[in-house]
Amino acid sequence: MTWDLSKLYAGFDAPEFLSDIEALKRAADASVEQARGMEVSVPALETAVRLASETVTLAIKTMSFAQLTLAADANCEPAMAAYARLLPIMNRLEEANSALSARLGTADDLDALIEQSDLLKAHAFMLKRLQKNAKHVIDPALEPTVLKLQMTGGSAWEQLRDQLDANHMVELELDGEKKSLPLSAVRGMANSPDREVRRAAYEAELAAYPKMEIPMAACLNGIKGEARTLCELKHYDTVLDMALDGANMDRATLDALLQAMQESLPMFRRYFRLKAKLLGYEGGLKFYDLFAPVGEMKGGYTPDEARQILVREFGAFSPRMANMIGRAFDERWIDMYPREGKSGGAFCSGMHPLGISYVLANFEGSYGSVSTLAHELGHAYHNECMRDVPVLMADYPMPLAETASIFNETFLAQSMLKKADAPMRVAMLEQQLSDAAQVIVDILSRFLFEKEVVERRADTTLSPRELCDIMTRAQQQTYGDGLDPDCMHPYMWACKSHYYSTGVHFYNFPYAFGQLFAVGVYALYEQQGADFLPTYEKLLRSAGSGTVREVAAGSLERNPIRTAGSAPSACPAR
């Protein structure tokens, strides 16, 4: 199954696509001029909001068509050309946003103006956030040049990294047969029940990275170096502060999250050592056994079987979600299988103007693959709940973006556990622990890695060997004696695309917040049952209308978690 992007456009030479690019360019130019020259008044702000809504709608459609095409086929030249053509227009949108922010920064009566207009009330959080961030606007005399340089800087490095990853073939031998497989397919073998397959895939993967480590290191150095420059130009103290601002999260919330993660490490290390013992050896777990199934997990799921499970299980919670999942399969919102040229991992991309979401998966038939579909379709359900939210208010921050996806994973696991026999229950509980360990232990290692890389980029360029050393130390700090020191993954920096995002630095810690928050939300569902659904959908709708602290605290104040309630089994949120 491949996704059907014709819902966006018939092709890159389609008249509708070309017309929308021109319309986007005109609207972007108009937005810049309007914002720079406006007096801050109700009519002017309403005009700015309408223009921004038009440009964002067109940007979502056109840019997503190029990006989604490249995610499924990194070598598609028409998509590359369209992406390159759109980048300067995206820069104009950034200029418009900065100009509006700067103008709002001069307004002393913004609250009073907002109260005079229903349109402005509906966009109040966005407008107040723009006003707050006026101090972080790049000097207008420099911004166009900076944005243009980014096109041949960070954006180009990011695109190169995606092409390197998608086209990276790994040579390995299985059952006496030599094969050449995409990196995503080889990494998927980490879930194999056959230890020799896992070991062979791990060794072949590590042996293949030196072939691309130099350009990968150049990409990472370029992107993180650019981040430091932008941090200075935007008047942030650190790149982390800039990332927190983008995530609508304050430093106190991050510190509390990191402390909770650190405090949970001894528990996870005991789990790793116990898993090693179950697999037949003492000491720390070997990296290639991190995802090894334990117990007897049913495998060999087909996409049709996955669909049946997801529709059945989530239909018991939300008929609306079950209907959406059915549509996702019927209308081909999903690109299912790994192949050469396709990005690894999985993601969901919301198409607010169309009221649908596209899901990229690398399905390999395991329960983990079914759970991943549940996760990504949770994102799609979040988008479904925001269909009637104005497009400018539908962009929720990453820490809250994981709420519905982790909720879905937890709900599916709890539902399936009730139907499973004893061996399968063991396997599923271990899978939950394994997933939680990735979101807490591994993501903490990624945070430590990125923090050191960003700090050291102040005065040096890091070699592949230095990056491997930093990665290994970060893994040692979090996995500790739970991982075999002679069998780690020094090249994790090369295979995780999140490090190479130019738009979001420190991409990983929001997943940990999402894990803990979503499990807390699930605990509310366990207490309230079906009565919780309206509250849950309201929470999802509000995700773009406040800071992380405001949205999370607001939901908990209305629905306090009773200490007598039970949290999901095998989850670390407590």
Identify whether the C-beta of residue 257 lies closer than 8 Å to the C-beta of residue 516.
yes
Angle at the Cα of 557 from the Cα atoms of 554 and 559, rounded to 5 degrees = 105
User: For the segment 21-54, what is each residue's pLDDT rounded down to a tens digit?
Assistant: 999 999 999 999 999 989 999 999 999 999 999 9
Angle at the Cα of 515 from the Cα atoms of 318 and 404, rounded to 5 degrees = 25
The end-to-end CA distance of the chain, in Å, is 39
Residue 194 has a CB neighbour count (10 Å cut-off) of: 13
Q: What is the pLDDT of residue 556?
A: 53
User: For the segment 120-169, what is each residue's pLDDT rounded down to a tens digit?
Assistant: 999 999 999 999 999 999 999 999 999 999 989 999 999 899 889 888 89
Phi/psi at 173 (nearest 5 deg)?
Answer: -115, 125
In whole angstroms, what is the distance from residue 166 CA to residue 160 CA? 10
Name the helix (H) or strand (E) containing 521: helix 509-528
User: For the segment 397-441, what is each residue's pLDDT rounded down to a tens digit?
Assistant: 989 999 999 999 999 999 999 988 888 888 889 988 998 999 999
Phi/psi at 298 (nearest 5 deg)?
Answer: -65, 135
Average pLDDT value for residue range 217-226: 97
Residue 400 has a CB neighbour count (10 Å cut-off) of: 27
Residue corresponding to tokens 């198409």:
351
User: For the segment 293-323, what is each residue's pLDDT rounded down to a tens digit?
Assistant: 888 877 788 999 999 999 999 999 999 999 9
User: For the segment 223-250, what is each residue's pLDDT rounded down to a tens digit?
Assistant: 999 999 999 999 999 999 999 999 999 9
Residue corresponding to tokens 């009221």:
355
Q: What is the pLDDT of residue 419?
A: 87
Nearest CA among 248, 188, 267, 284 for reference residue 482? 284
Q: What is the pLDDT of residue 553?
A: 81
Amino acid, single-letter form, for residue 107: A
Structure tokens at 90: 């995206």
In whole angstroms, what is the distance from residue 138 CA to residue 203 CA? 46
Domains of the chain: 5-152 (1.20.140.70), 169-211 (1.10.287)
More confident residue, 554 or 201: 201
Q: Which of 3-7, 176-180, 213-217 has the lowest mean pLDDT?
A: 176-180
User: For the segment 343-384, what is each residue's pLDDT rounded down to a tens digit?
Assistant: 878 999 999 999 999 999 999 888 889 999 999 999 999 999
Q: Is 568 exposed, middle or buried (0-12, 13-18, 19+ CB in 10 A)?
A: buried
